[in-house]
């Protein structure tokens, strides 16, 4: 029996990779939902197999009316993910109201819902544990994601089917090229180094030395693997962190990008000190616009994730960025 799956945000970064992950298992009865106003996102769907494509404007109401027959699960990745978006009404419509409609319809039909939350729900917190006392979003994007997580928590005790939310930390990897300034640091470093012969990082800020501010960088393949693990284990519901559980400095990303590019040209690896000395890594003044709005350290607490029995081993920056750089070099525009 074939399983029908719906992926929202299917042309986006994480959505398209989830479709690819499902295809790798032989699942092709996938309804892709997105908004292709930004047309170049279509590239992410060219090499995947889906059974249908729908625009998001009609999808939510159609699904609520049962127009797609029996749907096993929805991977809900569709959202406005621009953390600088100032229009709160637009953000809440996209990220909260649509998700809430979907949750209600999934519960009515017994469809499982695996959805994208965000580490932005923690905002100004220094602890990244899935509990209300640590949830302090700094922007309306983080708030829109938190609001839906709160609805899910209230719904879980009476839920008829699996509902699992994933608080993505700093995800990077193939398929994010359409995201512009919202693309990952690794993607920007790759392009900077190829165009300017150097990578720029923030200087000292918040008690951290130059380039030493830390993030939990998580490779896209790991994000897909955890989503699919929950797909295989429908008995687990809740809101879970999805990061590597390992904070690494931005310096590590720059180092991995530059040495991976050097290796591709048969050049020997350099130390970070040599990169700084040779001006391949340049530190710039911390931007005034970000003062007080910037997380200097994020690290997913994985206790809740591990308690489910999910023992997925996460890739570190050296391995993940190395793999990503090789992918980018293979797919350079001609």
179 is catalytic: yes
Mapped onto helix, strand or coil, the DSSP state of residue 298 is coil
Residue partners of 31: CB distance under 8 A and separation at least 6: 4, 5, 6, 7, 50, 51, 52, 53, 54, 68, 71
Residue partners of 263: CB distance under 8 A and separation at least 6: 269
E strand spans, 37-122? 52-55, 73-76, 112-118
Rounded distance between C-alpha atoms, residue 50 and residue 27, angstroms: 9
Catalytic residue among 60, 96, 115, 141: 141
Residue 228 has which token pair?
A: 């699919």
Catalytic residue among 56, 100, 179, 200: 179
Angle between helix 317-330 and helix 250-264 axes, rounded to 10 deg: 40
100 is catalytic: no
Rounded distance between C-alpha atoms, residue 232 and residue 172, angstroms: 24
Q: Are the C-beta atoms of residues 199 and 258 closer than 8 Å to each other?
A: yes
User: What H or E segment, with its residue span, contains residue 196?
Assistant: helix 185-196
Q: Are the C-beta atoms of residues 155 and 202 closer than 8 Å to each other?
A: no
Rounded distance between C-alpha atoms, residue 116 and residue 14, angstroms: 9
Catalytic residues: 141, 179
């Amino acid at each position: 029996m074939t399983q029908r799956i719906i992926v929202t945000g299917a042309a986006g970064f994480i959505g398209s990779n989830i479709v690819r992950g499902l295809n790798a298992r032989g699942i092709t009865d996938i309804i892709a939902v997105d908004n292709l106003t930004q047309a170049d996102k279509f590239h992410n769907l060219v090499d995947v197999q889906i059974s249908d494509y729908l625009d998001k404007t009609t999808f939510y109401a159609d699904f609520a009316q049962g127009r797609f027959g029996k749907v096993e699960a929805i991977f809900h990745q569709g959202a406005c993910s621009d953390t600088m978006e100032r229009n709160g009404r637009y953000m809440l419509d996209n990220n909260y109201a649509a998700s809430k409609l979907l949750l209600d319809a999934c519960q009515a039909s017994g469809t499982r819902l695996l959805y994208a939350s965000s580490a932005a729900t923690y905002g100004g917190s220094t602890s990244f544990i899935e509990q209300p006392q640590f949830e302090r979003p700094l922007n309306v994007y983080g708030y829109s994601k938190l609001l839906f997580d709160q609805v899910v928590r209230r719904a879980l005790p009476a839920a008829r089917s699996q509902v699992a939310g994933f608080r993505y930390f700093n995800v990077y990897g193939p398929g994010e090229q359409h995201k512009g300034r919202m693309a990952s640091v690794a993607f920007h470093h790759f392009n900077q180094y190829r165009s300017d012969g150097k990578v720029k990082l923030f200087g000292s800020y918040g008690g951290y030395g130059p380039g030493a501010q830390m993030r939990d960088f998580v490779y896209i393949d790991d994000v897909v693997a955890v989503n699919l693990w929950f797909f295989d284990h429908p008995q687990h519901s809740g809101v879970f962190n999805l990061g590597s559980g390992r904070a690494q400095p931005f310096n590590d990303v720059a180092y991995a990008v530059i040495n991976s590019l050097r290796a591709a040209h048969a050049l020997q690896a350099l130390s970070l000190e040599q990169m700084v000395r040779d001006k391949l890594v340049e530190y710039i003044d911390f931007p005034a616009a970000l003062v007080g709005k910037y997380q200097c350290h994020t690290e997913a607490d994985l206790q809740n994730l591990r308690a489910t029995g999910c023992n997925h081993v996460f890739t570190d920056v050296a391995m993940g960025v190395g793999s990503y750089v090789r992918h980018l070099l293979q797919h350079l525009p001609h």
